[in-house]
Structure 1
Amino acid sequence: MNERIYQVLEYKKIIDMLTEQAASSLGKERAAALKPSRELESVNRLQAETDEAAQVLRLKGYVPLGGIFDIKPSIQRTIIGGVLNPGECLDIASTIYGGKQLKSFIAEMEEPELPIIREFTEQIVPLNELERQIKSCIDDHGHVMDGASDKLRTIRSKIRTNESRVRDRLENYTRTKSKMLSDAIVTIRNERYVLPVKQEYRGAIGGIVHDQSSSGATLFIEPQTVVDLNNQLSEARAEEKNEIERILRDLSERIAEDQAFLYQNVESLGQIDFMFARAKLGKQMRAAMPTMNAQGIIKMKQARHPLIPEDEVVANDVELGESYTSIVITGPNTGGKTVTLKMIGLCTLMAQSGLQVPAMDGCELAVFSNVFADIGDEQSIEQSLSTFSSHMTNIVEILKLVDNQTLVLFDELGAGTDPQEGAALAMAILDEVIKKDARIIATTHYPELKAYGYNRENVINASVEFDVQTLKPTYRLLIGVPGRSNAFEISRRLGLDENIIGIAKNHIGTDSKSVENMIASLEESRRGAEKDYEAASRTLDDAEQLKQDLEKQWRELEEKRESVYRKAEEKAEKAVQKAREEAEAIVSELRSMKQSGLKEHEWIEARKMLDEAQPQLTKKQQTSPKENKQESQELHPGDEVKLLTLNQHGTILEKVSNKEYLVQVGIMKMKAKQKDLQFVKREQPLVEKPMATVKGSSYRVKTELDLRGERYEDALQELEKYVDDALLAGYPRVSIIHGKGTGALRNGVQEFAKRHPRITSYRAGGMNEGGSGVTVLEF
């Protein structure tokens, strides 16, 4: 990527926001150096890392990354024989502990799988012994403790004893000779205990003068009586210093022994911190993970500019690279053309850097080898370049480097010169870039370019909507419709005389009028298409509801039939068991009679008992004489009948043969003989769509909810409201469509089901219900 694009698209501001999200200097260092990658495999790896970190934040809400420091300089010093100070040793121990905490945190997570994060955490070596040695020698404030060695404990005990003796003697002076002292205190000068003596009493106290006040009125004197004690104290402190240095040297050598593991830990922790910084930024922006491709395809739903607050920015849908490779955006100033241009370019750079983009789930972006932009007024006084010259200089450089792996952003192409010449240049430049199969988004004021998309392949017009009623832009991007000037409408709204507007219209050429009329026609067609789409969508919803209701009735019929079969089987099983018991009784009776000898009439009686023991199975229900009369009655399409074999009502569709009809039963069509059909009534019943009633008002509730494409938080809020509506509607079960994807939304739905008091159970959809992309909730 050329460095200029980072400045033009304000990429540095994104990096600054990312750096703030890092928890350690290790992560901040990596964030500050982040640049977009040109390799699809590398970008996919970065996006996968960010997505795993985002899953952890969604499930846990945080990650323990505290107490981690950049200890690489300290490690390097130990390798070359340097001695670390207590603070540096403490930072190493803290980093070891932080690594262990993170490793344990990730290990305890059963789901999701997190292969990349686990790969890094598995490389973290605990180094418990080194941490224990450092913590046993240095306290949390960075001081070497008495227990660091027996010798140090002895030396410090000796120091405290000598200090006590010196203070006792000097405090005796403060009590007995306070008049000779400027202040009755014991103080320290040159690491020796002294007294503040007035100048005139210097000879009375005697001893060594170590310092004097700025006025010379006070001398800081070490009395002769404590010189020896102070000497002993200084010697003890020198021993303490040597012993502390020895302890720190031993710790430094011990750290040097584990330098390879420490470097490995630091690299893993830095990378993990960097991953979670990217995920935190995505969460802050309510961003989504894009699918990356190398075909130059861009698809974003409800995309927002990352640097504009969410409550102020207008989201737009953008598509490029499949049906067309170039978009020409026309419209008035301050309408949002440049913002749209920058948003697409900045989102592309973010995606290639492994960052999520502020758009709805399911967005798709391309990996480009270069992103070029000519945006804004770059007039240069120093170089004696006008606005037009500056733009053309930049465009000339772009044309030298553009290829089919390039995204080019032109803002106000051809501006700053004669309109006719500028428009001609703009079209020629666009033709040249299109010829090289680059992806282009250009904005312009020139009316000549409004028809450009209709005369070129792979080019489409677009505009930013302007509300003539409020005289304000809506910032909404309209693909396929060129922008109108709206000058006459705006002037009329502002009160300009109608005669003047009429004269102005007469000055417009025929071609311009045709273009404006074409645009007006397109806008009218678009509004009509939107209304038709809404109507079709409602019809589709009604049909889907009817389908769901019929499927529900069919399932209930199947369940009822299974219940009847089970009862019949149970009855038959009981009958067989009874027969078996009676048979056993007969056999026993025969055996007993065999011994006494059997007579003919006794054998006949035994055979009769065995026949009576055979179970009597339920025979098929016979039709009544009244029902048999139906055979002679002629049935017609539309008649409601009762299918006697299934005990279900249906409707005659057509007569197949003399005694056979095609019958609609629920969602099932079947052929039935006339003798199995009972006439009910001739009028076709009116099928009313089931409605759910709440507080006296009817409203439609689907038996399924589609959450695909929704953000995680919005999806759960929509799910909660939908479950309440379904409960009020009295549905026994509903289907939640969340798709397969990464599994995050599925896990969220199932966690919601576990917590909801009215949901008795949940399961994944069956083979004909959507599989793992659907969760069925039972109430």
Structure 2
Amino acid sequence: MNERVLRILEFNKIKQQIRLFLRTEMGEQTLKSLVPSHDAATVQLWLDQTKDGADILRLKGGLPIAQLVNLDAPVRRLEIGASLNGQELAAISRSLQATNAVINFFRDLDEDIELRALPELADHLVSLPAQSQLLRRSLESDGTVLDTASSRLQDLRKTMHGQESQIRARMDGYTRGSQAKYLSEPIVTIRDERYVIPVRSEYRGQFGGIIHDQSASGQTVYVEPQSVLEMNNKLRQVQLAEKQEIERILAELSAELAPYTNELKSNEYLLGQFDFIDAKAHYAAQLRATEPLIDSENHVNLLQARHPLLDAKKVVSNDIAIGADYKTIVVTGPNTGGKTITLKTLGLIQLMAQSGLFIPAREESQVGIFREVFADIGDEQSIEQNLSTFSAHMENIIGMLDQVNNQDLVLLDELGAGTDPQEGASLAIAILDYLGGTGAYVVASTHYPELKVYGYERPETINASMEFDVNTLKPTYRLLIGVPGRSNAFDISRRLGMPEAIVAAAKGLMNGASQDLNNMISSLEQQRKQTEQTDQDLQEELQAATELHQELDSAWQEFNRTKDQRLATAQDQANELVDQAQKKAAQIIDELRQLRLQGGSGIKEDQLIAAKSQLNNLHQDHNLKKNRVLQKAKRQQEIHVGDDVRVLSYGQVGVVTQKFNAHEFEVQMGIIKMKLPERELEKLQAKQSEPSRQVVTVRGSDHHVATQLDLRGQRYEEALANLDRYIDSALLAGYESVTIVHGKGTGAIRQGVQDYLKQNRRVKRFEYAPASAGGNGATIVFFK
């Protein structure tokens, strides 16, 4: 479609409303490239996808699409053999998890939900279960490498935490012992990634070691004491080893993903498609839109169509039809009656349908597939080219005439306006004749009375008008097909109080042709109202017949249900009688066998067996193979590639990576892959929430710290220094939460405590204590 018609009909505003429902960057790219198509197969596929998305939204609440970023840059780096950072790998991990969620969603979808296109689209997704599990085990959602990524990383971090505890224990001797008097503040801090203490400048040589920094005033220097130099060196070595191990793990993860760049790109594209389809479904629900039917002969029949960008509670809906009985509609009538909105409604709905979107119209509405939609609507006067309104319109129309053919829709607003009325009307008729000769579908609005006669004289052409209520002197914005607009000047003047003599004199001055035309239009309007009344009566009768049919249908269904229940009851009673007969028959046969064993020769064994078989055949078992509930439960227990399972013989949890046959699978448990029979596997149900993050707590046995710190009565600086030391000690002790008692007072210490807690990265959250435990005079701190 040409960019100009997309701009005039405000198609981009439709795209902006759809964008509000998107959750992925790939979905936004898909929406950005959306333009109407003139290929019927493509349009039908898009509509089928939107229909599937709408059904899933209605029945299941929508597709399970997560927030995802674009993976173009990370995938390109994988293709050239580069190692990705933690954030990039975490983004790929989220993409794989989202892929698995969509695959599982369609696999577990109820069979009674009939979908047209999306299951086939989902079949192209690739799960990569082993790589997805490896990424989940190695990375946080923000890209931080977990301790579980490797045993060496876990050992290094344990060593690092122990070394930090030793250093802090040594430094606490300086901040709490007799040498604390040489310090500016009795705290331990970090400079250049090494633990230091703030020493007054005049005592800088008291502790030996290295000076790493000084305060702005020069009165404080930050010293790494001689006694902790070696300990800091060891800590630094462990930190460097940790960094190297992290880089090794990231390189290993990148190498694991490198062979699957095509699958990652394909998954990203497909997830963007699913996100876009889900957004179209949400927009359709918001707009209360319906699926349009595509007519192969371009017969457009919109039922109760309304403009999608106007308030649904205020906009007037109209039936608009073109193509079947007529290919040109001439809409006449006064300005501000709704002619322009009607043209825009038809054009924009047609663009939406050819873009695979549902339309704001009643169900069973038909649309065509047009090669182009041309529009000349509104005042597009060009000041730069010094063109008049009329000249600008003529340039636009001339550009259309050079391209238009019988597969195009042309919308012309106020055709011929802006010049001499007689010349403008003649030019409008000539343009409509030319367009009619090309076979194009045309809707043109005008206020020239000459065009009213045109609709009756030309083949495949019909008049239309926008209804005007003479009683209220206001337009109703209803489109009337087959009725040309007429002048309401005499009726309006009479209702406003104009003397009847003047009105009659004015009518006498009109020529006969004009009077005949107005009389004809009035007659048509009366016939239309009679037809509408007849239609309303028929609709009421149809409604009554429909309700009666529904009642009969319900009664028929109830009859069938009762019949089935009675058949089941009769079958149960019959089975009970047969059971009794079988017991009696078994008793008789047993007696006969005993008689034969005692010497009788008239009864043969095969006759006894045949008799018992005939009795057994009288029993009618219920057919459980058709039980949908049992079949659905059986399907949910079926094992598929990518499922988490428990290996019963080993008591371990693993992931199914390959299916050899109906009853044998390959399962990966950690680094071990085993071929196992189905009887040794138990399928684990997927968890709905994110797995909880593992927390490693290091508890120092040599620290004895209370779970409450009382700061009442202390000066502000003293209280914050004590708070800093206490938080460090509480972290080393491994506490999950502590209580800080600061009192109420002026609130200065309380505010200082909260400011400190906000800046401490080890604090997860904090809140006031309950009213029974001090209320806002105490703060409970929770650590990460």
Aligned to 1:225: 227
> Match for residue 154 of structure 2?
153
Deviations 1:504-540 (A, max 9, x none): 4444333322222221111111112223344556677
CA deviations over 1:58-86 (Å, ceiling 9, x no partner): 22232211254433432221121121122
Matched position secondary structure for 1:21: coil
Q: State the Cα distance separating 1:25 from its structure 2 match.
A: 1.8
- Helix, strand or coil: the match of 1:384? coil
Change (3 A) 1:499 1:181: farther
Distance 1:190 1:63, change over 3 A: same
Higher Rg: 1
Instruction: Report the equivalent of 1:634.
Output: none
3-state SS, counterpart of residue 297 of structure 2: coil
2:174 — aligned with what?
Answer: 173
In structure 2, C-alpha distance between the alignment counterparts of 1:548 and 1:282, rounded to whole Å = 29
1:40 paired with 2:26, answer no
Equivalent pair of 2:37/2:43 in contact (CA under 8 Å) = yes
Corresponding residue of 1:735:
none
Q: Is the 8 A contact 1:40 1:293 kept in 2?
A: no
Alignment of 1:710-729 (within 5 A): none
- Aligned position for 1:703: none
Contact 1:159 1:237 in 2 (8 A): yes
For these two proteins, the number of residue pairs brought into alignment is: 553
Change in Cα spacing, 1:233 to 1:499, as seen in structure 2 (3 Å) is: farther
* Deviation for aligned residue 1:107: 1.9
DSSP 3-state at the match of 2:212: strand
> What is the DSSP-based 3-state SS (H/G/I as helix, E as strand, rest coil) of the residue aligned with 1:522?
helix
The Cα of 1:542 is off from its aligned counterpart by 8.3
CA distance in 1, matches of 2:515, 2:220: 100
Partner AA of 1:130 in structure 2: Q
Report Cα offsets for 1:183-238 as digits up to 9, x if no partner.
22211122122222333333434443322333333322222332222222222111
Does residue 1:197 correspond to 2:199, yes or no? yes
- 1:370/1:312 CA distance change after superposition, 3 Å: same
Query: Please, which moves more after superposition, 84-93 or 350-359?
Result: 84-93
Contact 2:465 2:481 in 1 (8 A): yes
For 2:71, the equivalent position in structure 1 comes to 71
The 3-state SS of whatever aligns with 2:402 is: helix
1:405 aligns with: 407
Q: Which amino acid aligns with 2:352?
A: M
1:35-114 to 2 correspondences below 5 Å = 35-108=35-108, 109-114=110-115
Q: Aligned letter for 1:263?
A: K
Query: What is the DSSP-based 3-state SS (H/G/I as helix, E as strand, rest coil) of the residue aligned with 1:174?
Result: helix
Cα offset for 1:93? 1.9
Task: Pick closer, same or farther for the CA change 1:320–1:185 going to 2, 3 Å.
Answer: same
1:427-476 deviations in whole A, cap 9, x for unaligned? Answer: 11111111101001111111221222011111111111111222222111
| Distance (whole Å) between structure 1 residues aligned to residue 384 and residue 221 of structure 2 | 67
1:182–1:495 distance in 2 versus 1, CA, 3 Å: farther
Picking from 238, 243, 249, the partner of 1:247 is 249
Deviation by residue 1:545-580 (Cα, 9 ceiling, x = unmatched): 999999999xxxxxxxxxxxxxxxxxxxxxxxxxxx
Asked whether the equivalents of residues 188 and 196 of structure 2 are also in contact (C-alpha less than 8 Å), the reply is: yes
Structure 2: distance between partners of 1:471 and 1:120: 56
Q: Which amino acid in the other structure matches residue 61 of structure 1?
A: G
1:358 corresponds in structure 2 to: 360
Equivalent AA in structure 2 for residue 190 of structure 1: D
Structure 1 residues 188 and 286: CA distance shift in structure 2, 3 A: same
Structure 2 Cα separation of the partners of residues 193 and 469 of structure 1: 90
Q: 2:216 — aligned with what? A: 214
Provide the residue aligned with 1:329 in structure 2: 331
**Distance of 2:21 and 2:39 partners within structure 1:** 26
Give the equivalent residue in structure 1 for 2:372: 370
- The residue that corresponds to 1:129 in the other structure is 130
The Cα offsets for residues 595-618 of structure 1, whole Å up to 9 and x where unpaired, read as xxxxxxxxxxxxxxxxxxxxxxxx
Residue 275 of structure 1 and its aligned partner are, at CA, apart by 2.0
The one-letter code matched in structure 1 to 2:333 is G
CA contact (8 A) 1:67 1:95 kept: no
Q: Which residue of 1 aligns with 2:27?
A: 27
Change (3 A) 1:499 1:185: farther
Judged with a 3 Å threshold, the aligned counterparts in structure 2 of structure 1 residues 469 and 199 are, in CA distance, closer, same or farther, namely farther
Which SS does the other structure have where 2:64 is aligned? coil
**How far off is 1:358 after superposition?**
1.0
What is the CA distance between 1:170 and its match in structure 2?
2.2
Contact 1:75-1:255 within 8 A present in 2 as well: no
Q: Distance in 2 between matches of 1:12 and 1:36?
A: 12
1:518 to 517, 520, 524: 520
CA 1:537 to 1:101, structure 2 compared with 1: closer, same or farther past 3 Å?
Answer: closer
Match of 2:461 in 1: 459
Q: Distance in 2 between matches of 1:514 and 1:200?
A: 114
Partner of 1:401, secondary structure, is coil
Corresponding position of 1:494 = 496
Q: Which residue of 2 aligns with 1:434?
A: 436
Alpha-carbon distance in structure 2 between the residues aligned to 1:408 and 1:520: 30
**Structure 1 residue 51 displacement after superposition:** 1.4
Is residue 273 of structure 2 the alignment partner of residue 271 of structure 1? yes
Shift of 1:115: 4.5
C-alpha distance in 2 between matches for 1:374 and 1:3: 13
Q: Secondary structure at the match of 2:20?
A: helix
Q: Distance in 2 between matches of 1:475 and 1:300?
A: 16
Specify the alignment match of 2:576 in structure 1. Answer: none
Between the aligned partners of 1:451 and 1:422, the Cα distance in structure 2 is 15
Residue 424 (structure 1) aligns with: 426
Deviation at residue 390 of structure 1 after TM alignment: 0.8
Matched with 2:258 is: 256
Rounded to whole Å, the distance in 1 between the matches of 2:545 and 2:45 is: 43
**Matches of 1:324 and 1:509 in 2, distance apart?**
31
Residue 114 of structure 1 aligns with an amino acid whose one-letter code is: L
Match of 1:147, as an amino acid? T
1:588 counterpart residue number:
none
Q: Which residue of 2 aligns with 1:450?
A: 452
Contact 1:54 1:283 in 2 (8 A): yes
Contact 1:409 1:440 in 2 (8 A): yes
Distance 2:472 2:294 in 1: 40
Q: Distance in 2 between matches of 1:178 and 1:188?
A: 18
Residues 115 and 521 of structure 1, relative CA distance in 2, 3 Å threshold: closer
CA spacing shift, 1:312–1:71, aligned 2, 3 Å: same
Q: TM-score, normalised by structure 2?
A: 0.67
Q: Cα distance 1:496–1:182, how it changes in 2: closer, same or farther (>3 A)?
A: farther
Q: CA separation of 1:381/1:549 partners in 2, compared to 1, >3 Å: closer, same or farther?
A: closer
> 2:201, 2:343 → 1: CA distance?
81
The TM-score, its normalising length taken from structure 1, stands at 0.67
d(CA) in 1 for partners of 2:140, 2:240: 21
SS state of the match for residue 384, structure 2? coil
Aligned equivalents of 2:232 and 2:512: distance in 1? 107
Distance 2:349 2:548 in 1: 42
Whether the aligned pair in 2 keeps the contact of 1:285 and 1:306 (CA below 8 Å) is yes
Checking the alignment, whether the CA contact within 8 Å between 2:45 and 2:117 is kept in structure 1 is no
SS of the residue corresponding to residue 126 of structure 2 reads coil
Distance in 2 of aligned mates of 1:373 and 1:145: 60
Question: Take 2:443 and 2:527, find their aligned partners in 1: how far apart are those partners?
Answer: 24
Q: CA deviation at 1:243?
A: 0.6
SS at match of 2:204: helix
Aligned equivalent of 2:317: 315
Tell me the equivalent position of 1:606.
Answer: none
The answer to whether the Cα contact below 8 Å between 2:354 and 2:369 also exists between their aligned partners in 1 is: yes
Aligned residues of 2:57 and 2:63 also touching (Cα < 8 A): yes
Please name the residue that 2:384 is paired with: 382
> Deviation of residue 128 (structure 1)?
1.3
Give, as a single letter, the amino acid of the residue that structure 1 aligns with 2:173: N
2:712 is aligned to none
Query: Does structure 2 conserve the Cα–Cα contact (< 8 Å) formed by 1:20 and 1:28?
Result: no
Alpha-carbon distance in 2 for matches of 1:243, 1:380:
67
Shift, 1:354, TM fit: 0.7
Instruction: State the identity %.
Output: 47
When residues 227 and 498 of structure 1 are mapped into structure 2, their CA distance, relative to the original with a 3 A threshold, is farther
Rounded Cα–Cα distance in structure 2 between residues aligned with 1:550 and 1:7? 53
- Partner of 2:313, secondary structure, is coil
CA-CA distance at 1:283 after TM superposition: 1.8
Aligned match of 1:284: 286
